[in-house]
Amino acid sequence: MGNQVSAPHDGPPVLLKGKDIASIAKYINSSDCHRVFVMLGAGVSTAAGIPDFRSPDTGLYSNLERLNLPYPEAVFEINYFRQNPMPFYTLARELYPGRFRPTLTHTFVKLLADHHLLDTCFTQNIDTLERQAGVPGDRIVEAHGSFAAQHCIDCHASLEGSKMKRAVETGEIVKCEACGGLVKPDIVFFGESLPQVFQQKVPRLRSADLLIVIGTSLTVHPFAALTGLVPAVCPRVLINIDPAGDIGTRPDDVVLLGRCDEIVRTLCEALGWEKELDREWAKTEILRPFEELLLVTPEAEKPSAAATTRPPADLDDAGTPPPVPEVAAAVPPTVTEAEAEDARVEAELELLTEQVAKGLEISEGVESRPPTTVTTAPEPAVKEDTGKDVQALPDSSQQGADDPSSEQKEGASTAKEKL
């Protein structure tokens, strides 16, 4: 589903003038491009000093050997966390936001919002660097969760971010005052469902004018399946070290191979945004306090300026995106082709939504309660340290984890599937 391997498209593009950066920039600046969707993987954050999962010697799993885990993925398994939460807390101290500066690519996503083009940024990363770069929170979907909130894994009582940060820094295990359950950041573990906001935002892809995929090998589902949910006439751009998914099989697919930040800078030059890029990235040199990033959550935020000044793009009261506008292409689709395309997107969307919904039903077995205070219960201090900065982003629906930089190929994983 979503990004099955297909033969490369050898014909000319339909909407774009060519399959290069100049053509992408011209399309973005045109009146045909209003709704831009972005998908980010951990390859975006490697330039910030946060390794991906599987790079030898420097990847996340290579740095977990000293924690004496039964297998590396256990640190992100909810059942193992219940038995022994200390390895995760040890790792969390290395991952906690506030230590890493956003990259040029994160800043580029902010510029898309500033220019009233960004509809939604789907990110696999838990590092909150999109927020740190200034991307409006209501435009971000942290598909695998993040450190932006924390709850009891049993009764779902919430905990203040400052308390969790203090506990992680001191090596204390946080326990719920109401039920005694363990508390952890809202990072999606194996055995947990994806955030509900992911399911809510996915239907918007049906009305995309442009999809930009950056720094991911598109091997982690259901995240990888999003590339197949945009209309067939929607240009898709991949910026990555290696080819990924089925991008390159449609007429208006563009594959740009190389380092994310270098390609993004060239694209901004073509857009006439280079000075803006440098100016906004310079602002990130002074990191915002992590607490400022957590004042509101995506579900509760008010619409940003981009949301109120962009061309009409909101869902209707029923939560359904407006019909995909007809594209003034040289060879417009026939009625039959248009109907077939609509049926294809609808079928894939329904299947993906059903899978995510089933996961939510499983994880919501405990009825929601009013907010409950949570206290920290001291535990023996952690003596070990991984010694390296790492990017934690477990796959919530299949074995293994994404290697977004695509510099190392995925191996077989021993973690259990969630969905």
Query: Which residues participate in catalysis according to the annotation?
Result: 144
Sign of the CA dihedral 15, 213, 136, 194?
positive
Longest dimension (CA), the chain: 68
Alpha carbon distance 120, 141 (integer Å): 7
- Residue in 402, 390, 350 with CA at minimum distance from that of residue 217: 402
CA distances from 164 to 134, 161, 181, 312 (A): 23, 5, 14, 39
Structure tokens at 307: 């949301």
Our CA dihedral for 397, 346, 135, 30, rounded to 10 degrees, sits at 140
CB atoms within 10 A of CB 231: 20
Task: Give residues with Cβ within 8 angstroms of 334, minimum separation 6.
Answer: none
Q: Which parts of 115-213 fold into alpha helices (H)?
A: 129-133, 161-170, 196-201
Structure tokens at 181: 């359950």
Which residue type sits at 90?
T
Which residue type sits at 101?
R
Alpha carbon distance 185, 161 (integer Å): 9
Half-sphere exposure of residue 63: CA atoms within 13 angstroms, side-chain side: 24
Which residue type sits at 191?
G
Asked if residues 273 and 113 have their Cβ atoms less than 8 Å apart, the reply is no
Alpha carbon distance 388, 59 (integer Å): 9
Beta bridge partners of 173: 377
Which residue type sits at 91?
L
Residue with tokens 């190389």: 258
Alpha carbon distance 2, 36 (integer Å): 19
Alpha carbon distance 235, 159 (integer Å): 42
Alpha carbon distance 213, 239 (integer Å): 6
Alpha carbon distance 134, 131 (integer Å): 5
